[in-house]
Chains A and B, each alone.
Chain A
């Protein structure tokens, strides 16, 4: 028996979303089996996740707070991945963005008492600049020297972590604790709860304006990718670098720019987190947003709109997963989802044919483009 993969000539519209949903469902079943094997109760764990992340308006708000940095870092990854640039450094760019924004009020770069209308845009700019620079360096190394961007971005995550630790333990430390002084209130992003005097139902809801940044960024990125010439070129480079080269597109320049924008998006995520949620810079501000962003981007098939949905799902997983034992379960679920997504992708791209013995079926595309699982047929001519 042989299994053949044939590229599909036509793909039904419903197949791709179905494969994605199926992949997530299969991943949850596999994860549940593992949880059961180590002595947990998968059904209770999953019910707990749903309850603790979508069960009430309050926890839904908390889920959105967790989803906010995931939207922005997810967009950062989606943009880079669309060009087949593997920016695995959103974590470090997030941290640098948080640091850059903090620098504005902690150095301080502006006089104290600067009104919010000036201060917040300045901090956004600083965060995006710092994150963008942290993305630009691996981008430039890749474009100019051909250095593998995966390794550099990964290593830069650790460098960024120690950089932030230096500042929060050292010059900016509040009395020796691993955190800085809180930011002045005019640096805080407005939260829903701030408007509870107008709408009483908003009391206690911590969703902040960073979510708007994420939604606006997703819209802009969609326009950029789907409606601009530059975006078209990026997609062309991602789909077929050779064709892009023949078309005379300067790939290196696009590569550096995309890496810088990607870093800036992740940097904005860091700014939104310190200004909107934490209100100070501290150690461990990210539970791995930049890494989860990789899966968010992949689950969203690099589409900005779907990044929002995927980010909310993983925001829920991060929020509710904190209380799940054993503690590795959320990360494990993320890994399994990524695997099942990959396999689901194969079902979308290829038609699977199973034949019993004999030569490969004489379909229009086989054997020229079909590969086979199992022992490959030996070619006639052997050297």
Chain B
């Protein structure tokens, strides 16, 4: 079992979760929960894949994926922010819609190949011990974009004036409104941006880390996992990155574990074809439950929780936050 290879694979697929989780962090920090991540990612995945197939240029595909994700975010934003619909129901509707529509649009795309985004090695950094081969060797360009996005997101939210406004509309929209911050407009902007990142996450799957279209199995619940990671990360992009890479390393670890004939001298019960393998398959999902419990507990202990106005529509002049 090569732990370095497992970690490198984790960094690659973790980028998918990272984009989706950071997108959700932006939306939720603005006070809008979007449970439609899975649907937006599927739409991004199919849009990126099919547009790349049609144009031959994966960059146009990425743009299309981000555009489609943004449009889905816009739909959710208008329905929840302006029409004050329930964010949970609208998000679920978005997931149904995205899943169904992606399957309809993706009909006939299975078993086709398209151009991928470039992957390359970063010269000096790749020579670093341990980290170099894991993070900087022959990774997709989007993986490196992910590395840059984490500190940028942190800086934007924690250290800039627009970031302060973002937190204000999520924590105390009425106070923000009094300060002259356009609550509706800002919320909409961040929900759309969250959608754009979710679309990018989908394209990251089909154009970079696991190329191809496999129906709704393409995203395979990664959107839901990203939402779980946001809770685990307590709405911090840095913790989200940590969670995303760690979580993504579980699947290659399981694959590697299934390839070992014996564990500690006894026959491996998890060999492919053995029914005990199904317990291994549960692990990622139980892991998400575990980290969400951990996140909730530490949030309760340290009194940092969800943005105070998360899930609540803002209505000027009405009693509320």
Contacts and interface: CB of A to CB of B under 8 A. Distances in A.
Interface of A: 5, 34-35, 38, 86, 88, 141, 145-148, 150-152, 154-156, 158-159, 162-163, 165-166, 169-171, 173, 291, 294-295, 298, 325-336, 338-339, 342-343, 345-346, 350, 367-373, 375-376, 378-379, 381-383
Interface in B273-321: 274-276, 278-279, 281-282, 285-286, 288-289, 292-293, 296-297, 299-300, 314-318
A335 B88 contact: no
B294 to A, nearest CB: 10
Given A379-B180, A383-B180, A147 B292 contact: yes
Contacts of B95: 335
Contact of A152 (B35, B282, B292): B292
* Highest count of chain B CB atoms <10 Å: which of A154, A163, A330: A154
Given A141-B293, A379-B180, A34 B300 contact: no
B100 to A, nearest CB: 3
B100 A342 contact: no
B96 A295 contact: yes
A163 B83 contact: no
Contacts of A376: 177, 182-185, 316
A155 B286 contact: yes
Contact of A171 (B185, B275, B288): B275
Contact of A328 (B100, B281, B296, B316): B100
Nearest to B179: A383
A331 B96 contact: yes
B293 A343 contact: no
B103 A159 contact: no
Given A151-B228, A339-B90, A34 B101 contact: yes
A335 B100 contact: yes
B105 interface: yes
A312 B279 CA distance: 36
A172 B184 CA distance: 56
A342 B224 contact: no
B107 A86 contact: no
Given A328-B103, A328-B104, A332-B103, A166 B317 contact: no
12 contacts: A5-B83, A34-B101, A38-B107, A147-B296, A150-B227, A166-B275, A169-B275, A169-B278, A334-B96, A342-B89, A383-B178, A383-B179
Given A5-B84, A154-B224, A383-B179, A329 B276 contact: no
A166 B93 CA distance: 31
Given A151-B292, A155-B224, A86 B177 contact: no
Nearest to A371: B315
Contact of A371 (B94, B179, B286, B316): B316
Given A151-B227, A326-B107, A338-B93, A159 B286 contact: yes
Contacts of B185: 375-376
Nearest to A326: B107
Given A151-B289, A343-B79, A376-B316, A335 B39 contact: yes
Interface of B: 35, 39, 75, 78-79, 82-86, 88-90, 92-107, 177-180, 182-185, 216, 221, 224, 227-228, 231, 274-276, 278-279, 281-282, 285-286, 288-289, 292-293, 296-297, 299-300, 314-318
B35 A150 contact: yes
A373 B89 contact: no
6 tightest A-B contacts by CB?
A328-B103, A170-B275, A332-B100, A335-B97, A335-B96, A331-B100
B182 A335 contact: no
Nearest to B79: A342
Given A147-B292, A375-B185, A382-B179, A163 B93 contact: no
B105 A38 contact: yes
B306 to A, nearest CB: 9
Given A326-B107, A342-B89, A162 B279 contact: yes
Contacts of B300: 145-146
A174 B106 CA distance: 36
B289 A152 contact: yes
B103 A327 contact: yes
B296 A329 contact: no
Contacts of A294: 92
Nearest to B313: A371
A328 B36 CA distance: 17
B248 to A, nearest CB: 16
Contacts of A345: 85
Nearest to A173: B275
B93 A342 contact: yes
A129 to B, nearest CB: 21
Given A141-B293, A335-B95, A383-B178, A158 B285 contact: yes
A36 to B, nearest CB: 12
